[in-house]
Amino acid sequence: MKRRNFIETMSLVGASSILPLDLLFMNGLKMKNIGLQLFSCPKLLETDFRKGIELISQMGYTKVELFGPYTFSAPSAQERWKQVTPMLGFSGCGYFGFSKEEVKSILTENGITTPAVHTDLETLESNMEALGEHGQFLGYEYVGLPAIPQDQRTNLDDYKKMADRFNKIGENAKKNGLKFSYHNHGYGLHEMNGEIPLQVLLDKTDPNLVFLEMDIYWTTAGGADPVEYLKKYSNRYHLMHVKDMKEKVRFSGDGGDAAQWIELFPFMSTCGTGVLDLPLITSTALKNGLKHFFVEQDMVAEPETALKNSCEYLSRL
């Protein structure tokens, strides 16, 4: 055993008198493999993708989660992206103008893997074969839906119908060597006709076909407790977006549209500097089947500092 590893191990053993061993070992060992959702620094990557990835590696990240659309994405998704980019202030996405071969080379050179990507509902339903082909080449396992289109979640029947669609997407993903994951943005957390829409969706989807990605910030902003959902749907959450919150804030409405998300961007903070109980949330996640943590500070100012600090904080847990 190397001296450094020996010292770390003995430190854990010494601390075991005050903390449970399973929590210590889960946090001390697994939390060192931290990922980054690239929506955290899109302008940096749009300016120079190669240098951006190099910087991400130097910060300590070992994996990234890409966001679409991609060149093979459904035309409707690409058109919708063009409409929203003026509000965001950048247009780069997917492979940022590079081929999948170039992206793989750049990531490999910097010791970074890509276990997961975000895409869109249309592409998941119409072009899973392309996602599977690119996933096999780049090495990603999870294809995630960041949000259900607003006009397709207006009532409980919409959520029930979406559950059926999710099961079909998950089955098709499995056939193509992938896993389908759903990232909830904070809507669907309040009662509708006596039921919680998100829970209706989760209860009606096959746990072997539909996996989950929790965004602890949006879950909290929607008025729900991340820890309760991690426990209630144990082993469903395989991925997590980790960020902190300067102060407890809620959506101005139901959390169902991009304008409400964007107005809460200023309240995001570097991990460990806000009010969220990250040690409790992450340890609960690990004990309930979580596999990948991704820091996500949407379009954060000064990403070189903020993202580095988040990675260092999580690595110390």
Give the pLDDT score at 28: 42
| pLDDT interval class at 25 (50, 70, 90) | very low
C-alpha 137/C-alpha 255 separation (Å) is 36
Among all chains, which residue has been given the structure tokens 């990603």?
Answer: 140
Residue in 123, 135, 126 with CA at minimum distance from that of residue 80: 123
Give the pLDDT score at 6: 34
Residue in 137, 142, 66, 62 with CA at minimum distance from that of residue 104: 137
Give the pLDDT score at 266: 92
Longest dimension (CA), the chain: 60
| 156, 203 Cβ separation under 8 angstroms | no
C-alpha 113/C-alpha 103 separation (Å) is 11
The pLDDT tens digits for 176-219 are 999 999 998 889 999 999 999 999 999 999 999 999 999 999 99
Give the pLDDT score at 229: 98
Q: Which of 4-13, 93-102, 248-257 has the lowest mean pLDDT?
A: 4-13
Single-letter amino acid code for the residue at 256: G
SS3 64: strand
Is the model's pLDDT at 8 over the cut of 60? Answer: no
Is the model's pLDDT at 112 over the cut of 60? Answer: yes
Write down the CATH superfamily of domain 35-316: Divalent-metal-dependent TIM barrel enzymes (3.20.20.150)
C-alpha 106/C-alpha 121 separation (Å) is 28
| 245, 270 Cβ separation under 8 angstroms | no
| 184, 218 Cβ separation under 8 angstroms | yes
Residue in 299, 241, 270 with CA at minimum distance from that of residue 85: 299
In this prediction, residues 275-281 reach a mean pLDDT of: 97
Give the pLDDT score at 56: 97
The pLDDT tens digits for 216-274 are 999 999 999 999 999 999 999 999 999 999 999 999 988 888 889 889 999 999 999 99
| 36, 56 Cβ separation under 8 angstroms | yes
> What is the overall mean pLDDT for the chain?
90
Give the pLDDT score at 31: 61
| pLDDT interval class at 33 (50, 70, 90) | confident
In this prediction, residues 130-150 reach a mean pLDDT of: 97
- Cis peptide preceding 69, ω within 30 of 0: yes
Q: What percent of the chain has pLDDT over 90?
A: 82
Confidence (pTM): 0.88
Higher-scoring residue by pLDDT: 27, 298:
298
Give the pLDDT score at 3: 38
Domain locations in the chain as residue ranges = 35-316
Give the pLDDT score at 107: 98
Give the pLDDT score at 84: 87
C-alpha 96/C-alpha 91 separation (Å) is 9
In this prediction, residues 72-79 reach a mean pLDDT of: 95
C-alpha 169/C-alpha 15 separation (Å) is 45
The pLDDT tens digits for 208-225 are 999 999 999 999 999 999
Q: What end-to-end distance do the CA atoms of the chain give, in Å?
A: 22
Residue 84: Cβ within 10 Å count? 11
| pLDDT interval class at 77 (50, 70, 90) | very high
